[in-house]
Amino acid sequence: MELTALTLNCWGIAGVSKDRKIRIDAIGNHLQSGCYDFVFLQEVWVEEDFQAIANKVANVMPHSHYFHSGVIGGGICILSKAKIIDVFFHAWSLNGYVHKIQHGDWFGGKGVGLCTVIYHGLKINLYVTHLHAEYNPASDEYHAHRVVQAFETSQMIRYTRNKADVCILGGDLNTEPGSLAYRLICDHTSLQDLYLATGKPDSEGTTSETPANSYTAIESLNVCPNGKRIDFVMASSREGLHIETVNVNIPLPSRIPGYSFSYSDHEAVCAKFRIVENQPSVANEIRSKELSIWSLKEALQVCDSALRNLSNDRRNYWLAFGLFIVLLSTLPFSYDGSRIVHYTLTVTHLFLTLVAVFCLIMATLWNRIELHGILAGKLAIMTRLKFLENL
């Protein structure tokens, strides 16, 4: 049988995303076509937007689930033609920094969501996820976070796929093909990147910062003229079944009909694939094991580097805390002369106190939280690596 799945990062941040309500309405109108069996959406940060889309498509995809998490919601949801019989959500142990308000990933409480359905006699696991954004490719401070998130995603899929005939993952991985996070997901779950089977170059399947998108900044095109392929539909099957890609394309036009802007700052990805009977290949299993070991060893190096950086950060925050305490102790707490000088001293004391408290929190509580998150990921990676090496 053939299945059709679509994934789209909707860019639905209240008060920030441009033209949000019009775009959400247009996305719902497109999905009303009934062309898709399953739809995976990300960055639907406003629950009313999810309800609006779900109501629009109720005739063609009557089943849906929104994954609540974090401060502003997980932002991810699944729409399905098939009845959803079970759901589960795993929030990642590492998800950015609470003080990086301009990035906002921590407040989203991101993770990976699972909906299980029975469709045409097959038990299908539907996974949707949205990994941490990169923000600065030249100095990616979230590399270790994204690597741990990717490995935890692969763990969840491995732990929940046993009784499933087919697994489908749709989402914005914020990482390009061949990168470590991408390989951790593919190598450790047997998921196929369905676009690769089309034989098309990555430049034709780009989904983020593309030249055709109305929201792409000129600065982004100067760095990467063709954009990036970071949104994926992946699939795998149990032994005895095989996934064959029929077609993968960008289904949405570059502009919403009647408007001068796009549906989102990302492009949607539509994958049509066929499920056929097949026998597993021993050679493929050996190759998969080799790739898994390679990516796990690289992931351990990333974790070790992040742990060293955390140790340095902890020392620097303690030094900064000590410096601000010294400055506070040297400044007078009151001044009987000019009122302006008195107010300036008061504001300076307040500022230095706040910064000192911030440095103290970062050197103690937050440093320990991030340390334990990376250590947990490292130990899990080491356990998996030892098991594969002893096979």
Note whether 96 and 79 are within 8 A (CB): no
Position 59 in a domain: yes
Q: 237 with 354, same domain?
A: no
Three-class secondary structure of residue 211 per DSSP: coil
pLDDT of residue 161: 92
Residues 233 and 356 in one domain: no
Per-residue pLDDT at 282: 54
- Is there a single domain that holds both residue 225 and residue 319? no
Q: Which among 96, 125, 102 is positioned nearest to 112, based on CA atoms?
A: 125
- Residue 76 tokens, joined: 């991810």
Q: Is 20 a member of any domain?
A: yes
Q: Domain check: are 234 and 264 in the same one?
A: yes
Please report whether residue 285 resides in a domain: no
Q: Are residues 188 and 51 in the same domain?
A: yes
| Residue 357 shares a structural domain with residue 225 | no
Q: For position 337, what pLDDT does the model report?
A: 64
Among 247, 280, 313, give the residue marking a domain's end: 280
Query: What are 85's two structure tokens?
Result: 């019989």
Question: What is the rounded distance in angstroms from the CA atom of residue 24 to the CA atom of residue 386?
Answer: 46
Q: Are residues 169 and 269 in the same domain?
A: yes
pLDDT tens across 101-153, in order?
666 676 767 899 999 999 999 999 999 999 988 877 767 788 889 999 999 99
Average pLDDT of the residues of the chain: 90
Q: Are 161 and 124 in contact (CB under 8 A)?
A: no
**Count of helix runs (H) and strand runs (E) in the chain:** 9, 12
Q: Is residue 179 within 8 Å of residue 229, measured between CB atoms?
A: no
- Tell me: do 18 and 151 sit in the same domain: yes
Which pLDDT value is given to residue 25? 97
Residues recorded for the chain: 391
Question: 43: domain range?
Answer: 2-280
pLDDT of res. 344: 82
Number of domains forming the structure of the chain: 2
d(CA 338, CA 54): 63
pLDDT the model gives residue 335: 62
- Nearest C-alpha neighbor of 370 from the set 314, 320, 315, 321: 314
pLDDT the model gives residue 285: 60
Check whether residue 81 and residue 160 sit in a common domain. Answer: yes
Q: Return the pLDDT at 62.
A: 97
Question: What local confidence, expressed as pLDDT, does residue 83 receive?
Answer: 96
Write the CB contacts of 387 (distance below 8 Å, at least 6 apart in sequence). none
Q: Which residues of the chain have pLDDT under 70?
A: 72-73, 99, 101-104, 106, 108, 138, 279-287, 333-337
Those residues whose C-beta lies under 8 Å from the C-beta of residue 227, and which sit 6 or more positions away, are 206, 207, 208, 209, 210, 211, 213, 216, 220, 221
- Residue 140's pLDDT is 79
Q: How far is the CA of 113 from the CAs of 51, 109, 175, 283, in angstroms?
A: 18, 12, 19, 32
Look at residue 256 and give its three-state secondary structure.
coil
pLDDT of residue 212: 95
| Structure tokens that stand for 93 in this block | 């142990």
Same domain? 236 vs 110 = yes
Same domain, 296 and 276: no
Q: What is the CATH number of the domain that holds 257?
A: 3.60.10.10
Q: Which of 214, 132, 138, 141 is nearest to 181 (CA)?
A: 132
Element (H, E) at 171: strand 166-172
266 is catalytic: yes
Contact (Cβ atoms closer than 8 angstroms) between residue 3 and residue 38:
yes
Domain end point (choices 249, 280, 311): 280
Of 65, 130, 143, 266, the catalytic one is 266
- Answer with the one of 280, 306, 337 that is the final residue of a domain: 280
In this structure, are 299 and 353 located in the same domain? Answer: yes
The answer to whether 93 and 377 have CB atoms below 8 angstroms apart is yes
Instruction: Please tell me the predicted confidence (pLDDT) of residue 58.
Output: 96
On whether residue 76 sits in a domain, the answer given is yes
